[in-house]
Structure 1
Amino acid sequence: MRPHIIGARAARSVYEILYNYRRTTIIFLILGVAAGCFGIFTMRLDMSFRPTFTNDPEQIERTEGAEHEFGRVGFNELVVMIDVGDAHDAGKLRAVHQLAESIAESPHVIAVREPLNFPFTDRSGVFHPAGVGAELPHADPATVDRLIADVAATPSARRLIFGDGNRRVAVTATFDIANQDFTTWREADREFRDLVSRWASATAGKPPFDRIVDTQITGYPDVEQVYAHEVLFSTLRGVAVLVMVMIAILYMYFRRVVDVVICLIGVTLSVPLTLGAMNLLGQPFSIVNSQVLTLVLIVGIAEALQQHQEYIRRREAGRDHSVANREAFSLLAWAAFMTGLATVLGFAALMVADMSAISSYGLCTAVGVGIAYLVNWLVVPHAIDLFYRGSTQRRFGTRANKWSMAMLRSADRMVVGRPGTIVATFVVVVAGLGWLGLSQISIDQKVNEELPGDHPALIAQRTFEQEFTGFLGPELWIRPTSGTISDHRAQLVQLVQRLCEQPEIRYVGSALDLVPQPLDQGAADSPRCGREADDLTPAVAARAGAYGPGLHQLSRSVLNADATHSAVIIRVADIGTKASIPFSARVQDIARQAMPSAEIDLVGPWWLAQQGMHSLSFEMGLSAIAALALILPVMWVAIRDRRLFLAAAVPTVLPIMAVLGFMGMAGITVRIGTAMMLAIALGLAASNTIHLSLRIRDRVRAGVDAQSAVSAVLLRTGTPVMFGSYVLIAGFVSMLGSSLLALRDMGAVGTFTMAFAMVADLLVGPAVYLLLVRIGKPGSLDRHASAAPPQITPALETIATGALR
C-alpha cells in the first residue's frame, strides 16, 4: 500500500482522536506552555561572542595547558584609556593612580597596570620595581618629572601603558574570571564602568583637569557585553517588527481578523515551548541562538496558513464545517508531516558542524521548528472549530485577489508554454551567479566590523589598536627541550626581534620585559618593539617574587613557576580571519627558525577562534551535504514519483549555488551566521516544493494530464505558497534592522534565498516536470501546444480563487 494512502488514513484517525480528546489535548498544551514560560526565567543567558570555535581536543588541550602554566593571558582584561593631554604631567598621573587604586579593590581583580606602578629602570640604571608611585612622597618635583619621563620611555611600557603620541594613558585590570563565565563578566564590566564614570565625574573641572575627562573603555569582555546588549535588543525589535509584518501579510491574504488570529495561535504558543525545550536541552539563549525564535515564527506561520486555507477552500466548495475541517486536516497531514520532517532535518544537518555555536543553533532550531509544526497540528483545527463552528455558507463567498492571481496566470502561461525556456534561463542565471560570485567568496570575520562605525565601543577598540596594543592576537608557548629559558636567552631575543619586524604586530610581551632595556628616546609615535638581554636572572627572580607582588604578577604571564617554559604574547589589530591564518603560519615559521631547540605552539582564545573560523568553508559544505543526504530521501518518500521527484530536486538544490554566488557578488563573507545558510536554504526550500509536488501527483493519479494538473495546482495552491514565502522573506528582512553585521548579512542572504526559492518553486519545478513528461512520452503535450494555457473552467476558477480571501 502506498505511503500517502497510509498517511491519509492515519491522518483521519489522528483527527478523530484530536477532536474527541480536544479538551485533554488543550490542557496538556497549556501545561506545556506554562512549564516553558517557567523555564524561560531559569534559562541560561549567554550572549558571549566567543563560543568554543573549535572542538579540536588537541588545540583546546594545548591552550588549557598554557593557561595553567602562565595564567589566563588573553581575553581577561578590561582597559580604560584616559586622555590626559600630556602623559608626563605628574598631577594628572596621580589622579589616574587614584582610579587605579579603586579598581584594584574591585572583586575578581588580581592585578592593575597603570603609569605609577609599572616597574622600570631609570636612565641611571636604578631599578624601580614598585614604579614611580613609591618615589612620590619623598621626591622633589624635578626628580618626579625625570622618573616619569624615564618610565614613559621604557620600551615595555610603550603601547602597554603610554599610547603613541603620549596623550593617552591606559589603566588595565586583570580578572580571575573564566572566559565562559558570561554572567560574572557582566557584573564585573558594569562595576568597572561605574568606577570609571564616578571618577571622571569627580575629577572633571578640578585641578589638575580643567575640563571633562575623556575616557574610553575596551577589552574583549567589554565588547562582548556590548554585543550582548545589541543582539538582545535587536532580537526583540526584530521579532516585534516581524509580528507586525506577518499580521499585515495575513490580513492581506485572508481579509479577516479572525483568520489572522487562527494562524498566529500556534506559533504564539510555540515560542515559550521552544525556549523551555532549549532550557531542558541545556542550550543557552546566545547571540546565534537568538535567531531561533525568528525561524520558529516564520516557519510556523507558513504552515498554519496552508492548513487554514485548505479549510476555507472546502467551505467555498460547499462542504459543511465539520467535513471541511476534517478533510483539510486529512489532505494536508501527509504533506505537512513530510515538509515538517524535511525542514527539521535541514536544520538538524547543522549539528554535524564542529563549531559549537553552529551545532547548537541547528539543534535548537530543529527542535523549535518541530514544536511549531506539532503545535499547529494540535491547535489550528481546534481554533477553526472554535471560530467557525456556527458560520454559514454565505460567509465563504469567493473573492479573488486580482494581483496575485494575475501573477499566477502569467506564471502558468510561461510554465505551460515555454518550460524549456524557463529551465534554460534559470540554468544560465545560476551558472552566471556561480561563475561571478564563487570566485569572490571568502571567509573573513572581524570583531570590529560587527558594530556600526560610530558606535562608542568600536571607536574605543580602534583607539586601543591605533595607540596601544590592541587586545587580539595569539600566544606562543615555548618549551625548551633542555635547560631553562635563561639558557636560551639569545634565541628568545632573536625571536622577539623578528616578530617585531612584522607589520601586523603592535606589541610583543615576553620575559625580556622583566629585565632592564635601553630607554626609548625616539619619536613617541614610533616606539621600539625589539628587546635586548644579556641576562634573564632578574626575570627569574621576579617570577620567584623577589621584587614584590606587582612585578610577580606581571612575570606570571610570561614565565612558569620554575622558569623552564615561557610565553610570548603577541598583539595585533583586528586583521580578520582571512589574514590571520597566513599571519599565524608566518609567526610559527619565525618561531621555529629562531628557537630550533624548543617546542613551540600557538595557543590562546584568539588562536582557537581562528582555527574554528578557518574551517567554516568545510563546515558549510559538510552541513549542506548532510542536509541533502537527509532531505532528498524524505522528498522521495513523500512524492514517490520519479519525474516529480527529479523536478522537485531542482528548486531544492538550485538555491545552494545561487546563495554562494549571491554572497560572492554582494561581498558577503562566510561567517558564523552566513555559513549556516546552505543547510537552512535546503530545509526551507523543500517545504513549498513538497506541497506543490504532492498536489500535482494527486491530480495526475486521478487521471488529469500533466499539463492540466500543473495549471490547476499553480492556480489553486500557488497563492498560499506565495504568501507563505512572503512570510519567510519577511522573517529574514526583519534581521536587516540588526545593528550587528553578522545578523544583517544572515538576513540579506536569507531574503535572497527565500525569494529565489519561491520563483524556483512556482516556475522551475513545474517546468522541469513538464519537460520530463514530454521526454518520457513524446507528443503527450503537443495537443495542448496550440492553446497556450488550457481554459480554466468556472468550477476550477472558483476553487483556484477561493484561496485569495
Structure 2
Amino acid sequence: MNKKEKLAHNIIKYRWSIAILIPILIIIIFALNIHKAGVETDWKIWFDKDSKVMKNFTHFKETFGSDDRIMIVLSDKNSIFKKDILKNIKTITESLWQTKLIARVDSITNYQYSHVSKEDEDEIIVEDFIDNIDSLTKKDLEEKKEIAISDPQTKNLLISADGKSAIIIARIVYKENIKANDYITLYNASKKLIEENKIKGVEYHIVGVPAFTDAFINAIKSNFIMFMPLLFICIVVLLALIFRNIWAVVLPLTIVILTILFIAGFSFGLGYKLNTLTSMFPIFVIAIGIADSIHIFWVWIHKRKEGLNNEESIVFSINKNFTPALITSLTTFVGFLSLGVSKIIPLQAFGIVVASGAIIAFILSILFLPAMLSILNPKIKEQKQKVYKTHERIKSYTNFVVKNDKAIIISCLIVISICFIGLKDTTIDTDFLKQFSKTTDIRKSTDFVEKNIGGTISMEIIIDSKKASGINKPDFMKDVEKFKIEFKNHFSKVRHINSITDVVKKYNQLMNGNKKEFYKIPDSKELISQYLLLYSLSLPQGMGINDMMDTKNRYLRLTSMNNLASEQEKLKMYRWTEDWWKQNSKYSATLEGLTLVTAHMKIELTNTMIKSVLLALLFVTLIFWFTFKSKFYMLISAVPNIAPLLIAMGITGWIGINMDLGMAIVFVIIIGIAIDDTVHFLSKYKDAISKGYTTRDAIEKALLLSGSAIVITTVILVTALGIFLLSDFTIYSNFGFVSSIALFCAMILDLLLLPASLSYMSKIK
C-alpha cells in the first residue's frame, strides 16, 4: 500500500472528524466575516497611497479641490434658448448649489459674463449671463445665443456650438474619505431634480463620477443577480445530463459554495471590498472548484461501473488523482499569487484571495468529497458493457491520433501561428467607462455629450511658474496660450481647454475698447495682476478663482475636456505635453487628476501581465520539474500549456478586443486550467509507462482515466462562462468570450496535440 492509498483509507476511517467537521468548521469561522462586505469605487483604491501617482493625485485635490463632477445635460432639437428651458437650467443650477457635497455649480445661466457697461464704457460688469428671464425678448434670447456659442469660455463647455444643448457642471467637494454611497446619493438627488423639473420634449442626461459609480454598482449587482444563478443552473443541468447522478451535482457544487464562503470571509476579514476585480472571484472559484472534484468523481464512478465497491473506487480515485490535483492546485496557487507583483492594489488583493481559494478547493476535493462518498455510498449500477464501449471509442481515437500524429502536430502549429500573428494588434485599455457597452445608459449619455457638446473626460495639467506670483508674468501666460493652441490642434479628442488666461485676455479686450485685436495676453505683469484682482472681486461668493490657480499664484491649472480616448491615446497626450514644456518653455508642467491615475493603470497593467505571466510560468516549470523530474515532460507540455494563452491574446488582437483589467486575471486562469488538463493527462500517462505499457497503450490509459474528465470540465466551464457573453458589462463579456475560447483550445491541445506529440517523439527516439 503506497502513501496515497494509505491517505485514502485514513480519509474513509476518519471521514466525520478530519474530512468533514474540521474543514467545515474552519470555513464557518471565516464565513462569519461576510457581514463586513462592502463595495469600493474610490479611485484611491487602485494604487498605494505612497506611490508617485497617488501623491500627485492628492496634491492636486489639496491644491485645487476635487476634479470629480456630476454633469446634467439638457437638449432641445431646436434651441435651448427658450424661456422655459432657461428657467429649468437656472432652477436646477440653484438647487444643485444647495445639494450636499457640491462645491460649485456652473451653467449658462450663472456663467460670470464680463462686458462693458452700456451706460459707462469705462466700467466693466461681471454678472450672471442670464438673469430676469421673464423680461428677455426674442431678440434678447437670440443675442444671448450668439454670444454663448462664440465665447471661448462657454462654447463646447457649457453649451454646444449649435446652441441646442447645454450642460450644468457641479463640482464635488474635496473630501478625503468620500464613499460610494455619497456618490450614489448625489446621483439620486440629481435624478430627482430632473424628475421634478422635467420639461416635455427636452432630453436629459447625467454623466460624471457619481453617474459612473451608480452604473458600476448596479452593474455588479445586476450581473451577480442575473448571471450567478444562470451559471449555477447551467452547471447543475450539465452535471445532471453528463453523470445522471444526483451526487454528481450536489457534491461538486457543495465544494464550490464552501470555497466561495471561505474566500468571501477571508477577503472581507482582511478588509478587502468588492470592486471591478474582486467582484469576479466567485467565477474563478467555480472554475477552480469544479476541475479537481470532477476528476475525482469521474474516476470513482468509472470504477464503480467496472464493478469495484465504494471503498475500492474511492481509494483508486485518490491514488490516481492526488498528485495531479496537488500539482494543479499549486500551479493555480502560484499563478494567482504572481499577481502580487502588481502595483495595482485590487489586483494584488484578487491574487491573494483566489490563490487561497485554490488551496481550500484542493483540500475539500481530496478530503470532503471522498469522505462524503464514503458516508453516502451512492448506489451505482455495474455497467461493464457501457464501460467496454467507452474503452472501444477511446481505443479508436487513440489509433487515429497515433496514426496521424505528424499531421496533427503540423495542423495545430499552423493554427497557433495564425493566432499568434494577432498579438501585434493587441491593445490594453483600462478606461472605466469602456467597461460599459454602448447600449447602457451611462455610455449613451457619455456618447451624447461628446457628440453634441464637448468631452466628458478631463485632463488636468498643472503648470509651474517656479515662484510665487509667477502666474502673473506675461511670458508665462503667453507660453500657456501657445501650448493651448498647439495642444488642441495636435489632438482631435480635445473639445475644450479652460484656464485663467481666458479671463485675462477677455479683460484686456474690454479695457481696450472691446476691440478683438486686444483679445490677448498683455505685456504688463501689473495689468495681469490688476485684471485677476478685478475679476475675483467681481465674482459672487462661491465663484472664486482658487480652483484655477493656487493661493500663492505659482501654479496654474489648465483643464482639457476630451472625448473618450484609449489609454494609449491618453499616454500620447501626456508625453506630448511633458515634451512640449521641456522643449518650448523655461517653465514646467505635470499631469495630475483622475485621468492620470487611469493612464498609469495601463502601464502597471502591462507590467503586471508580463511579470505575472512570466513568474507563473517560472513557478510552473519548477513544479513540473520537481513532479516529473524529466526535461522531456517539461518540453512536451510547453506548447499545450502556453499556446492557449497565446491563442487567446492573438484572437483579441484579430477581432479588436481591448485587454482590460479583467484580462490580466483571465490569462492567469487560462494558464491554470491549461496546466490542470496537461498534468492530469501526463501523470496518468507517466504512471502507465512506469508499469511497462507501450506509448500507444499509455496514451489510451491516460485518455481513459483523464480524457473524459477533461472534456466534462471544459464543456461545463466553456458553457457556463460563455453565459457572460450576454452581459452589458464589458469586463464580464470579454472575460466570458476570451476564457471560453482559451479553455476550449486548452482541451483540444491536451487531448489532440499532446498525445500526438508523445506518439511522434516515441517514434523518432
TM-score, normalising length from structure 2? Answer: 0.89
Equivalent of residue 3 in structure 2, options 3, 6, 9: 9
Tell me the equivalent position of 1:792.
Answer: none
> How far, CA to CA, are the matches of 1:407 and 1:68 in structure 2?
71
Tell me the equivalent position of 2:548.
Answer: 558
Equivalent of residue 667 in structure 1, options 633, 644, 656: 656
Tell me the equivalent position of 2:381.
Answer: 395
Residue 184 in structure 1 maps to residue 176 in structure 2: no
Contact 1:543 1:561 in 2 (8 A): no
The offset of 1:279, in angstroms, is: 0.7
Residue 498 in structure 1 maps to residue 492 in structure 2: no
Distance 1:182 1:409, change over 3 A: farther
Tell me the equivalent position of 2:642.
Answer: 653
Post-superposition Cα deviations, 1:556-584, rounded to whole Å, max 9, x if no partner, equal: 22100021111111111012123222233
442-451 or 227-236, which deviates more:
442-451
The offset of 1:441, in angstroms, is: 2.1
The residue type equivalent to 2:567 in the other structure is: T
Post-superposition Cα deviations, 1:298-334, rounded to whole Å, max 9, x if no partner, equal: 2211211111222223333433323332342343222
For 1:299-318, what aligned pairs fall within 5 Å after superposition?
299-318=288-307
Tell me the equivalent position of 2:108.
Answer: 115
Tell me the equivalent position of 1:223.
Answer: 212
> How far, CA to CA, are the matches of 1:670 and 1:501 in structure 2?
29
For 1:477-492, what aligned pairs fall within 5 Å after superposition?
477-482=462-467, 483-487=469-473, 488-492=476-480
> How far, CA to CA, are the matches of 1:240 and 1:470 in structure 2?
38
Tell me the equivalent position of 1:469.
Answer: 454
The offset of 1:255, in angstroms, is: 1.3
Tell me the equivalent position of 1:154.
Answer: 151
Equivalent of residue 40 in structure 1, options 15, 34, 40: 34
The residue type equivalent to 1:497 in the other structure is: I
The residue type equivalent to 1:320 in the other structure is: N
The offset of 1:159, in angstroms, is: 2.2
Q: How many residue pairs get matched?
A: 744
> How far, CA to CA, are the matches of 2:401 and 2:251 in structure 1?
34
The offset of 1:56, in angstroms, is: 8.8
Tell me the equivalent position of 1:801.
Answer: none
Partner SS state of residue 155, structure 1: coil
Q: Give the superposed CA RMSD.
A: 3.2
The offset of 1:445, in angstroms, is: 5.1
> How far, CA to CA, are the matches of 2:554 and 2:113 in structure 1?
24
Contact 1:37 1:273 in 2 (8 A): yes
Distance 1:49 1:401, change over 3 A: farther
> How far, CA to CA, are the matches of 1:404 and 1:513 in structure 2?
80
Partner SS state of residue 668, structure 1: coil
The offset of 1:55, in angstroms, is: 8.5
> How far, CA to CA, are the matches of 1:54 and 1:254 in structure 2?
48
Post-superposition Cα deviations, 1:88-123, rounded to whole Å, max 9, x if no partner, equal: 334432332122222221111111112222211135
Tell me the equivalent position of 2:566.
Answer: 576
The residue type equivalent to 2:228 in the other structure is: V
The residue type equivalent to 1:559 in the other structure is: M
Contact 1:82 1:216 in 2 (8 A): yes
> How far, CA to CA, are the matches of 1:378 and 1:716 in structure 2?
20
Equivalent of residue 81 in structure 2, options 78, 88, 102: 88
The offset of 1:461, in angstroms, is: 0.7
Identity %: 17
> How far, CA to CA, are the matches of 2:389 and 2:580 in structure 1?
67
The residue type equivalent to 1:349 in the other structure is: S
For 1:299-448, what aligned pairs fall within 5 Å after superposition?
299-388=288-377, 391=379, 395-398=381-384, 400=386, 408-435=394-421, 437-444=422-429, 446-447=431-432
Equivalent of residue 167 in structure 1, options 158, 164, 170: 164
> How far, CA to CA, are the matches of 2:619 and 2:461 in structure 1?
42
The residue type equivalent to 1:187 in the other structure is: T
> How far, CA to CA, are the matches of 1:104 and 1:707 in structure 2?
79
Tell me the equivalent position of 1:524.
Answer: none
Partner SS state of residue 239, structure 1: helix
The offset of 1:723, in angstroms, is: 0.5
The offset of 1:619, in angstroms, is: 2.7
Partner SS state of residue 473, structure 1: strand
Partner SS state of residue 122, structure 1: strand
For 1:656-735, what aligned pairs fall within 5 Å after superposition?
656-735=645-724
Contact 1:22 1:382 in 2 (8 A): yes
Residue 620 in structure 1 maps to residue 609 in structure 2: yes
> How far, CA to CA, are the matches of 1:299 and 1:406 in structure 2?
31
Post-superposition Cα deviations, 1:156-203, rounded to whole Å, max 9, x if no partner, equal: 122222222112222221112459732321222222222222222xxx
The offset of 1:139, in angstroms, is: 9.0
Tell me the equivalent position of 1:268.
Answer: 257
The offset of 1:473, in angstroms, is: 3.4
Tell me the equivalent position of 1:457.
Answer: 442
Distance 1:25 1:556, change over 3 A: farther
Contact 1:239 1:734 in 2 (8 A): no
Distance 1:127 1:360, change over 3 A: farther
119-128 or 634-643, which deviates more:
119-128
Distance 1:250 1:508, change over 3 A: same
Post-superposition Cα deviations, 1:345-386, rounded to whole Å, max 9, x if no partner, equal: 222222222333433332232222322222223321122123
Distance 1:219 1:96, change over 3 A: same
Tell me the equivalent position of 1:802.
Answer: none
The offset of 1:472, in angstroms, is: 1.0
Tell me the equivalent position of 1:536.
Answer: 528
Partner SS state of residue 291, structure 1: helix
Distance 1:149 1:717, change over 3 A: closer
> How far, CA to CA, are the matches of 2:703 and 2:344 in structure 1?
41
Partner SS state of residue 326, structure 1: helix
The offset of 1:486, in angstroms, is: 0.6
Distance 1:140 1:397, change over 3 A: closer
Distance 1:242 1:401, change over 3 A: farther
The residue type equivalent to 2:580 in the other structure is: I
Post-superposition Cα deviations, 1:663-684, rounded to whole Å, max 9, x if no partner, equal: 2222222222224333322111
> How far, CA to CA, are the matches of 2:393 and 2:734 in structure 1?
29
